[in-house]
């Protein structure tokens, strides 16, 4: 169910909105193998009526399933937007669509959340990635009984640049 704000309710007082939106409701198809949204987006917002616009402020948070770009280790990444704010005009060229007396906040939440997704997720800031030893161990563990022979490039590993 989309996150709707009834404008008639805002004429009397500000609205507090708290809850969560599922990934299906947000339509968070990232098409990225390294960052996947599988858990709901949690929101704690306040909607306020301003002359010919709507002001929405609050917090957004979602936990993402990521894969480190350096070592390919899976990890959880908590994406938080503690100072989310959106000014939505209700009139003019850039007006948000109003259906009946309601404004759907779901597209705005989706867009701002997607813009904050990590482009190059790291399991930890100092991740050194896959080292030659880890790669060799992984290759040898993939094929039991095979012996590891030195790489043609191993002489380059000895260089100190």
Question: For the chain, what percentages of helix, strand and coil (3-state, to nearest 5) are there?
Answer: 20, 35, 40
Residue 92: strand, helix, or coil: coil
Residues of the chain with pLDDT under 50: none
* Confidence (pLDDT) at 90: 87
Q: Which two tokens stand for residue 131?
A: 């080292």
Please state, in angstroms and rounded to a whole number, the distance separating the CA atoms of residues 27 and 30. 9
pTM above 0.95, yes or no: no
* Confidence (pLDDT) at 146: 56
**Residues contacting residue 110 through CB under 8 Å, at least 6 positions apart:** 26, 27, 28
Taking residue 26's Cβ as centre, other Cβ atoms within 10 Å add up to 22
Nearest alpha-carbon partner for 88 in 55, 112, 46: 55
């Amino acid at each position: 169910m989309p996150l709707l704000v009834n404008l008639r309710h805002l004429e009397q007082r500000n609205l507090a909105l708290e809850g969560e939106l599922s990934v299906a409701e947000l339509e968070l198809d990232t098409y990225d193998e390294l960052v996947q949204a599988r858990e709901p987006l949690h929101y704690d917002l306040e909607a306020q009526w301003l002359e010919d616009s709507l002001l929405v402020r609050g917090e957004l948070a979602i936990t993402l399933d990521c894969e480190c770009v350096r070592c390919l280790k899976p990890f959880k990444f908590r994406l938080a937007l503690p100072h989310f704010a959106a000014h939505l005009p209700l009139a003019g060229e850039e007006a948000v669509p109003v259906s009946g007396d309601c404004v759907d906040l779901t597209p705005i939440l989706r867009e701002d959340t997607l813009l904050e997704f990590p482009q190059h997720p790291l399991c930890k800031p100092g991740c050194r990635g896959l080292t030659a030893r880890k790669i060799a161990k992984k290759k040898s563990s993939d094929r039991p009984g095979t012996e590891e022979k030195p790489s043609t490039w191993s002489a380059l590993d000895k260089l100190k640049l």
